[in-house]
């Protein structure tokens, strides 16, 4: 049974899913039912070194640069409306292939053209993130996003990191008002 993550909580992926080698982070949300343009949430990943920075621009994975240099991290496509059941965007990680000088993979979500569309996370319903064992499809952990993000247009919603020789996942619940800010935070 999946762990329901709380704000700021972390789990040991090694303990919750022994033998885990491949996983994905799923991001989902509901189609907009009120007036206005559809919500277009975009998932992205930053492969970070010990200093918390990308090693190069190739370590920023998103819908237009969907794969890391060695294929360890891959963005599987851009859903622009939230239509369909299940995950709307996924970022796949082959933990065994993550370069040794990458200490953490930070996963962010932004609302595309949030300012122009006058949208924020407080308006998005049914939004969630989840960690899934890619080998067997078993959900390891899940976090349902609440509506306390009334003005934010970007968030850091997950961190996969190494700690004492094992992989862990943290849900930092870190919202950002400026949807471009994650790029500068990590050196891209």
Render pLDDT for 89-143 as a digit per residue (tens, 0 to 9). Answer: 899 999 999 999 999 999 988 888 888 888 887 788 788 888 999 999 999 988 8
pLDDT recorded at residue 82? 47
Q: How far apart are CA 110 and CA 23, in angstroms?
A: 21
- Alpha-helical runs (H) found in the chain: 13-16, 114-117, 181-185
Instruction: Determine contact, residues 74/68, Cβ cutoff 8 Å.
Output: yes
Q: What is the pTM of this model?
A: 0.85
Structure tokens at 109: 């979500």
Q: How far is CA 117 from CA 40, 53, 109, 112, 153, in A?
A: 10, 30, 16, 9, 11
pLDDT recorded at residue 169? 92
pLDDT recorded at residue 89? 86
pLDDT recorded at residue 64? 87
The CATH number of 3-185 is which of 3.90.340.10, 2.70.98.10, 3.50.50.60, 2.60.60.30? 2.60.60.30
What residues in the chain have per-residue pLDDT under 70? 1, 31-33, 77-86, 146-150, 173, 175-185, 187-188
């Amino acid at each position: 049974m999946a762990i329901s993550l709380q704000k700021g909580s972390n789990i040991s992926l090694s303990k919750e899913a022994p033998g885990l080698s491949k996983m994905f982070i799923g991001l989902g949300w509901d189609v907009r039912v009120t007036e206005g343009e559809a919500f277009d949430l975009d998932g992205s990943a930053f492969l970070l070194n010990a200093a918390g920075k990308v090693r190069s621009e190739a370590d920023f994975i998103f819908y237009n640069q969907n794969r890391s240099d060695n294929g360890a991290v891959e963005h599987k496509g851009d859903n622009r409306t939230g239509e369909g059941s299940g995950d709307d965007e996924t970022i796949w990680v082959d933990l065994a292939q993550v370069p040794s000088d990458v200490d953490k993979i930070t996963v962010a979500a932004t609302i595309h053209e949030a300012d122009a569309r006058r949208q924020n996370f407080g308006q998005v319903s049914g939004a969630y993130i989840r960690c899934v064992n890619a080998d067997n499809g078993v959900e390891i952990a899940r976090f349902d996003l609440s509506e306390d993000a009334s003005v934010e247009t970007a968030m850091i919603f997950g961190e996969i990191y190494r700690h004492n020789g094992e992989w862990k996942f943290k849900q930092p619940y870190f919202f950002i008002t400026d949807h471009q800010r994650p790029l500068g935070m990590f050196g891209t």
